[in-house]
Every structure is written in C-alpha cells, then in structure tokens.
Amino acid sequence: MLSSILSTQLKQRSASMVTSPFTKFVKKKFTDVPKKDVTMFGSKKTTIRWLLDFEKDKMPNFALRRFEIQPGGSIGLHSHPQEHEIYVISGESCVITNGEDQKVVAKGGDVLYVPSNEPHDYYNNGTDTFTFLCLLLNVFKVLERCPQDNETIALSFNNIPLGDLNAKRIIQVLSANPLITKLSLRNTKITKQSAEQLSEFLKTKHSLQEVDLSQNRIGISGVRTICDAISLRPIITGLYLNDCKIGNDGAIVLSDLLETCLTLENLEICKNKVGKRGMSFIVEALRENYSLVSLRVEKNSGILKEDFNQARRYVERNSAVSEVLDQIISNTCHPSYKYRMHNFSKSVRGIDMLLGKKQQMMESQKDNSRLVQIFEETGKRAKKDNIVDSKVEKGKWRVGFAEMMGRRETQEDVLVIKENWFDFTTIDSIWAINSGFWDHNSIKKRVKGKYEEQEEEEEKIFQETIVKGELRNIEIENSDFFGLFDGHGGREASEHVGNILPLKIKEKINNGMKIEKAIHDSFVELHHEMLHWCLYSGTTAVLIIILGNFVWVVNLGDSNAVLCRNGYAVGLTTPQKPNDKEEKKRIEESGGYVKDGRVNGMLAVSRAFGDGYLKNVISAEPQINNFQLSSADSFIILACDGVWDVLSEEKAVEIVSGEIDPQKAAKRLRDEAYSQGSTDNISVIIIFLD
C-alpha cells in the first residue's frame, strides 16, 4: 500500500514539475546504454557502460561510467593521471593497490578515492556481481598529454567551463606539482575569486613562467591581485589578459608591473577597453623597460596612434637586443666549420643549376626582360637577415609563425596565412574524398604501444573524423588557408606561388569546382605557367585548408604537416623524395635518374613547382588528404625540411605541447631546430585548435 501511494505522489509531482530545472538532470537510464566488454589492462569478466561521456553527452567537467565485474573477474592492474571516485553499488571486491602490497575489501555503500597515478585493481572473489560507478574529472585529461619524460609541464584548460569552484580545486592540486611552467585558463568562466586563488599559487610557485587568463571576467581587482603576486616573485615571462574587462585602470596596474618585473617578455591586453589614459602609462613604463619583446593591444578603442607607435618602437628595440644576444650565445656554442662544408657540398652538387640561372639572367638582360627585375627584387628580399616570429588571432584559430634565414646566405621560404579566406558562409557540393591517410590501423602503428588502453575511444574518434561522400550546403563559420613554400635556387618561385596559388584555388571553388579538383588543377596549371621562366628555381608547398571543421592537407615536396591528437604526433603528409620507390620509378619512366638521392644528381625533391630544366621528370601532382577535426585535436604544425631534418615529429609535438601561446611555440620550435644544427632556412606555422 505504501509503495503504491508513493508511486502515485511521484507521478503527480512529476506532472506538476514539467518546467522544473531538475528534469534536466535525467540524461539517460543506465539500462538504455549498451554494455561493452572491457578488454584493456588484461581485464576478464568485466563490462562497462558509458553513462555520461565528456564529448558525446556534452559534459565538460565529468564523466560517469558503470562497471560490472562477474565472480572471478577483474579489471586488471592499471594507473592513469586522473584522480577519480568509486561508488560501490552492490557486491564485494578485493581492491588491490600498489601491486600486491595492500588489499582492502570494498562492498555496497562504500566510497573509494583513487589518487592520480596510483596502481589499482578490483578482483571479485565473491559469489555476486560487483557493481560500481566511476566518476572522473575531465579537467585532469590534460595531464595525459604531458610527456612523461619532460622536465616541465604546460597545462591548458581552455574552453572548459570550470567556474571558480573547479578552478580553485585545480589550483590546489597543481600546487603540489613542481614541474608546471605554463598554465592556461583561457575562457574557463572564472572571475576575480579565482584570480585571488591563483595569486597565492604564484607566490609559492617557483617554476611557473606563463599564465593565460584571457576571456575571463577577472576585472581590475583580479589584475591587481595577479600583478601584486608576480611582483613578489618576478619570474613570469608571459602574461595573457585578452578580453578580461580591465579597462584603463587595469592598464595602469600593468604599467607598474612593467617597471618592477624585469623578466616579463610577452604581454597581451587586447579587447579590454584600454584608451588614451591607460596606454600613456604603459608607454611611459616601457621607456625604461628592456625585457618586453612582444606587446599586443589590438581591439582597444581610444588608443592614440602616436602612443601605439611609440610602444612598438620600444618593443622592437628590446626585441632587436634580445635576438642579437641569442645569436651571439648560439653561435659560440656551435662551431661553423661543418656547416660551411655542408653548404659547399650542396653548391657543388647544384653547380649546373647555378650556371644555368646565371646564363638565364644574362639572356634576360639583353632582352630587357621583366625577369631581371623579378630576380633582382626577390634577391634583395632574400638577403634580408631578419628573424621573424609573430601571431595572428583575427579568425577562429590562434596562429603563430616563425622563420629565420639560419645558416644560409638567403631566405627562400615564404609563409602565407589567410584567415577568413572566403567571404561566404555556405559551400555547395564540396566533394571530399577520403584519401586513406587517416586509416585507423596506420594511426595505431604510428604510436605503437601508446593507444592500447584507448582502442575503443580511438575507434570512435576515427569514425567521427573521416570525411565521407558528398557534402552539400555546408554551413561554415571559418575558411582558412595556411601555406608554407620552401624555395630553392632563389626566392622568386616561392613568392610567386605564395601570391598566386591561394587565388587560383579560391577562384575555381567559387566557380563551382569540387575542392580536391580545384586544388589539383591549380597546382598543375600554375606549375606549367612557371616552367618557361622558373628554369633554375622552384619551390615545394605544404598547405592546410580549413573549412568549418573539415581540413584538407596538401603536400608537394619535402615539407611536412603534423597533427597533435590526444597528445601524440600524427603525420599528415609523406615527404616526396627521389629515393622513394614509387617516386624513383616515376622519375626513371620519365627519362630521368636518381643519383645521390637527387633527381639527375641535382634536385633533392621529386615534386615541386618550377624547375623548368627538369620539366619532364619533376611533377607538380600534389598529395591531398582530408579529415574532420575532433575534440582530441590540439594543434597542427607546418614546417619546412629545415625543421624535419633535425627533429622528429614526436619531438616537435613535445616542444609545442610545452607552450600555451602559439607564437612562443613557433619560435621555440624554430630555435630548437637551429640549435640542433639545421643548415637550412627554418620556417614554422603553428595552428592552435582550442
């Protein structure tokens, strides 16, 4: 009788509470979720139900899983970076921690806490099914992406709506880790309360060097609290406070920091309603500041042009001094003899190319050809010994790039970044053919030994990210073009391709051509247009084209693009070298030959734009692949062979993972390639996907 009365009352209450916010709590019944066998860790007789998932159920903070272990079954001894809580529903189990050293018995009603990286197992030695819920904090997933052998850690919680309560807990946990050097809480819904907690963290954290609090309403009081803490321990090199509602008063507080903190190199305060008054204080502080090498103040109305220009001059002064010191230090550490010998050897192998180009110049001068002017102008630009690093944040992605001449006499690389490439939001009938590079087995092979515990998750990501079939009426909020062109024999080919190729591809797509055909035809067409004047110069190309969440990767030559997925490196391109079996066969069938790893003994790449003197054997047919971005993707690296000659894909991803700012990441990767002995031009583009 009592149960029937309660049932009736519950039905009545449910009917009267249709609009209650508590109805939103009911996401699903556990019986509606399919039961799957657990195959990781050597598990046996164990099943799992994914009740609430981070991405699929749009639960940004937590994941909830239900496990059932049959009598005689176990999960298997394992550990992971995430702390979690276990709620035992029914049955009994022997819980093993630290191997066989400690054993406890858990039964219905118990709540267990498992610290991060604590080895543990559950073995059901009873007669009933052991059932429990496992609650995990999503924010600790970032720890899985930290290199295990790295001396420092960069943590990014970007775009996770933590709020002050979760942020406070995170900061408390992180306080015990001595390795953290960079912390990003960009767009995490925190306020000045979290700033106060973070200030205590800064006062005691000797290793923290960079902090990103952008897109949070921390206000003037939050900025003052942070700056006071930094002043007590001035080791911070990067502070990013874009769109934090700090206004002129916040800028004045930051000007005080510029006068006292001699380690601060990067400061960003874009979109903060900083005006004439606040900027004037910053300019005055920069007069005697010699450490700041990067200042970004875009999207602040009211800043006077003369103040902006004066601030830029101070920063450029500091940057120039810093670069000179870096060059002096690095050059004293790296004897130049072997690099001179290397370049001499390369010039001997390319002597026919050099003589051929000289002859072309002489003939062009006789005819008063436009080529003479092109060669002279690009030659002057190629000899500018500028070391460049910068950042773009106008579009959806945060992008950093860096380049340097390195140990070459000229800079022949060209970078092209075109965000908001198209001026429309719908693309009709894009034919996106999956080219097979995103094969699941090949991914597992690339990171062998690292994905065994994530096979189910990786299979899901793989299925979600293949671009299949014909995509019609795609609504896109971004259209972006990123290109890296590595020239040889001069800069004229790379400059020309960088200027013309994006226009050709865009025009063909606008005229209704399917995207992969537009890319292919643009490459081949432009190559043939260049053959008559780029006789002894050419360029490789690697492109990333992003339309919405769909990515096209295009490669011609030996540059490379690498994706960071779940913290691991996934190569998106295959360098096209003369010694490759298929390439060598194609070259020989075209009447050429391969000697010393070079086409006809001269050119080190088998595909490129230009190189008209080898027009019968050099191909401009590009490699085109595509995939769909997922929440597991962190960033994409585009780099020339000056990077990949000395650094592996895994090492490059490890370096970039250690940064929370794309500009710093690009600069660090460039400088690391140089310090490892790269003898080529070095160019890098980093696309942060958060």
What is the Cα–Cα distance from 452 to 508, expressed in whole angstroms? 44
Average the pLDDT over each of 32-41, 133-142, 279-288, 546-555 and give the range with the smallest value.
133-142
Q: Does residue 333 form part of some domain? A: no
- E-strand ranges in 442-478 read 470-471, 474-475
Predicted local confidence at residue 61, as pLDDT? 54
The model's confidence at residue 107, banded by pLDDT at 50, 70 and 90, is confident
- 303 vs 405, residue with greater confidence: 303
Predicted local confidence at residue 33, as pLDDT? 73
Categorise residue 77: left if φ over 0, alpha if ψ from -120 to 50, beta otherwise.
beta
Q: Which two tokens stand for residue 639?
A: 């780099």
Q: Give the dihedral sign, CA 373/376/380/383.
A: positive
Q: Last residue of a domain, which of 96, 120, 140? A: 140
- 129 vs 106, residue with greater confidence: 129
Q: Does residue 380 form part of some domain? A: no
Q: What is the pLDDT of residues 282-333, one digit of tens each?
A: 999 998 888 898 899 988 988 988 999 999 889 888 877 666 555 544 444 4
The model's confidence at residue 497, banded by pLDDT at 50, 70 and 90, is very high
What is the rounded (10 degree) CA torsion for 379, 381, 382, 385? 140
CA angle 547, 550, 554 (to 5 degrees): 85
- Rounded mean pLDDT, 90-101: 73
CA dist 350 → 405, 536, 654 (Å): 19, 10, 35
| CB atoms inside a 10 Å sphere around CB 629 | 17
The model's confidence at residue 194, banded by pLDDT at 50, 70 and 90, is confident
* 163 in the same domain as 108: no
Q: Does residue 3 form part of some domain? A: no
> Counting runs of H as helices and runs of E as strands, what totals does the chain give?
18, 34
CATH of the domain at 75: 2.60.120.10
Average the pLDDT over each of 111-125, 430-444, 598-612 and give the range with the smallest value.
430-444
* 625 in the same domain as 646: yes
Predicted local confidence at residue 23, as pLDDT? 41
pLDDT, mean over the chain = 76
CA dist 369 → 361, 529, 645 (Å): 9, 17, 38
* 285 in the same domain as 353: no
Q: Does residue 393 form part of some domain? A: yes
* 590 in the same domain as 615: yes
What is the Cα–Cα distance from 443 to 463, expressed in whole angstroms? 13
What is the Cα–Cα distance from 214 to 207, expressed in whole angstroms? 21
To the question of pTM greater than 0.75 for the whole model, the response is no
Predicted local confidence at residue 236, as pLDDT? 87
Q: Give the dihedral sign, CA 311/314/320/322.
A: negative
CATH of the domain at 508: 3.60.40.10
H or E segment at 356? helix 351-366
What is the Cα–Cα distance from 554 to 160, expressed in whole angstroms? 32
Q: Does residue 399 form part of some domain? A: yes
What is the Cα–Cα distance from 213 to 193, expressed in whole angstroms? 13
> CB-based contacts of 507: which residues, under 8 Å, 6+ apart?
none
What is the Cα–Cα distance from 495 to 489, expressed in whole angstroms? 12
What is the Cα–Cα distance from 384 to 226, expressed in whole angstroms? 41
Q: Which residues constitute the domain of residue 200?
A: 146-318
* 584 in the same domain as 683: yes
Q: What is the pLDDT of residues 510-526, one digit of tens each?
A: 888 888 999 999 999 99
Nearest C-alpha neighbor of 678 from the set 644, 637, 639: 644
CA angle 316, 317, 318 (to 5 degrees): 90
Name residue 120's beta-bridge partners.
78, 97
What's 141's DSSP letter? G
- Rounded mean pLDDT, 266-277: 93
* 113 in the same domain as 182: no
* Helix-helix angle 337-349:351-366, to 10 degrees: 60
CA angle 286, 290, 296 (to 5 degrees): 55
Predicted local confidence at residue 672, as pLDDT? 92
* 527 in the same domain as 494: yes
Q: Does residue 373 form part of some domain? A: no
Domain count, the chain: 3
Q: Does residue 4 form part of some domain? A: no
* 495 in the same domain as 351: yes
Q: Last residue of a domain, which of 283, 299, 318? A: 318
Predicted local confidence at residue 65, as pLDDT? 82
Spatial contact of 649 and 634, defined as CB atoms under 8 Å apart: no
CATH of the domain at 313: 3.80.10.10
Q: Last residue of a domain, which of 100, 117, 140? A: 140
* 568 in the same domain as 433: yes
What is the Cα–Cα distance from 494 to 415, expressed in whole angstroms? 9
Q: What is the pLDDT of residues 627-646, one digit of tens each?
A: 889 888 999 999 998 899 89
* 55 in the same domain as 195: no
Burial of 593 from C-beta contacts in 10 A (0-12 / 13-18 / 19+): middle
What is the Cα–Cα distance from 296 to 29, expressed in whole angstroms? 50
Predicted local confidence at residue 28, as pLDDT? 54
* 209 in the same domain as 61: no
Highest mean pLDDT among 21-25, 450-454, 624-628, 677-681: 624-628
Q: Does residue 8 form part of some domain? A: no
The model's confidence at residue 32, banded by pLDDT at 50, 70 and 90, is low
* 309 in the same domain as 356: no
| CB atoms inside a 10 Å sphere around CB 330 | 12
